[in-house]
């Protein structure tokens, strides 16, 4: 997929051309589907949210987003954030239906899964990421791009205008902070 037509359409969208979004979606759909697949890759059998549904929900939120689109990478970073919100909302809805609880140990990479057995952990991770964002927005953004957005280190670096080495450093520090934060949370803990 060429980045140039996407960036041009995003600029048109930022200028108020709502038709640009309809032209944009066929160009970005495959990448959005890949992002959604990354978010849902390790789902448990019987999960109700599928990649296509996640992309369609994200599309509905993105079409109404009041964002000054900067580039293709910026668009995917925002899409990753929107998908994270959808997954967290889905997990919270499942949590309301679920009875019981208890301590649950979840690997960091698995913490982005949403399924019948892990909604507490994704909600706890989301709440921890919100607290991390208050302390250090860039670390929270790095985690969001890498784990919810399925971006590579290079794509994350481009989206956040930092070097890949900085992405690596920020991720190490963010994982340590999140581990400590989630270890204090009675509903979930995070193992590395």
**DSSP labels, the chain:** --HHHHHHHHHHHHTT-THHHHHHHHHHHHHHHHHHHHHHTTPPTT-S--HHHHHHHHHHHHHT-------HHHHHHHHHHHHHHHHHHHHHHHHHH-------EEEGGGGG--STT-HHHHHHHHHHHHHHHHH-HHHHHHHIIIIIS---HHHHHHHHTS-HHHHHHHHHHHHHHHHHHHHT-TT-EEE-
Instruction: Tell me the range of 92-106, 116-130, 151-165 where mean pLDDT is highest.
Output: 151-165
CA angle 46, 120, 87 (to 5 degrees): 60
Q: Average pLDDT for residues 117-146, to the nearest whole number?
A: 80
pLDDT-derived band of residue 136, with 50, 70 and 90 as boundaries? very high
Tens of pLDDT along 40-71?
A: 765 555 556 788 888 888 888 887 777 888 78
CA distances from 24 to 81, 173, 178 (A): 19, 36, 36
Q: Is 163 left (phi over 0), alpha (psi -120 to 50) or beta?
A: beta
pLDDT given for residue 111 in this prediction: 47
Tens of pLDDT along 85-108?
A: 888 787 777 655 554 444 454 555
Q: Among positive and negative, which fits the CA dihedral 34, 38, 42, 47? A: negative
Look over the chain and give the mean of its residue pLDDT values, rounded to a whole number.
Answer: 76
Whether residue 11 is predicted with pLDDT greater than 50 in this model: the reply is yes
**What is the count of structural domains for the chain?**
1
CA distance 9 to 30: 16
Domain span including residue 74? 3-191
pLDDT given for residue 94 in this prediction: 65
- Dig out the tokens for 25 from the structure: 């979606």
Whether residue 114 is predicted with pLDDT greater than 90 in this model: the reply is no
Q: Average pLDDT for residues 137-162, to the nearest whole number?
A: 85
- Going by their DSSP bridges, the two strands 105-107 and 189-191 should be labelled as parallel
Percent of the chain with pLDDT over 90: 11
Q: Average pLDDT for residues 175-180, to the nearest whole number?
A: 88
């Amino acid at each position: 997929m060429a980045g140039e037509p996407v960036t041009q359409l995003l600029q048109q969208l930022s200028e108020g051309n709502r038709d640009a979004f309809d032209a944009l979606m066929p160009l970005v759909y495959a990448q959005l589907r890949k992002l959604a697949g990354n978010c849902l890759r390790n789902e448990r059998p019987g999960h109700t949210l599928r990649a296509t549904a996640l992309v369609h929900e994200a599309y509905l939120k993105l079409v109404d987003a009041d964002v000054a689109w900067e580039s293709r990478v910026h668009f995917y970073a925002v899409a990753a954030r929107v998908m994270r919100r959808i997954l967290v909302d889905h997990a919270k809805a499942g949590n309301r239906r679920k009875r019981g609880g208890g301590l649950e140990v979840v690997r960091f990479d698995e913490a982005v899964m949403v399924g019948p057995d892990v909604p507490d952990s994704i909600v706890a991770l989301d709440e921890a990421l919100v607290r991390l964002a208050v302390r250090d927005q860039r670390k929270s953004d790095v985690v969001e791009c890498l784990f919810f957005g399925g971006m590579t280190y290079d794509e994350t670096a481009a989206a956040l205008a930092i070097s890949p080495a900085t992405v690596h450093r920020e991720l190490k520090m963010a994982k340590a902070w999140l581990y400590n934060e989630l270890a204090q949370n009675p509903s979930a803990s995070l193992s590395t």
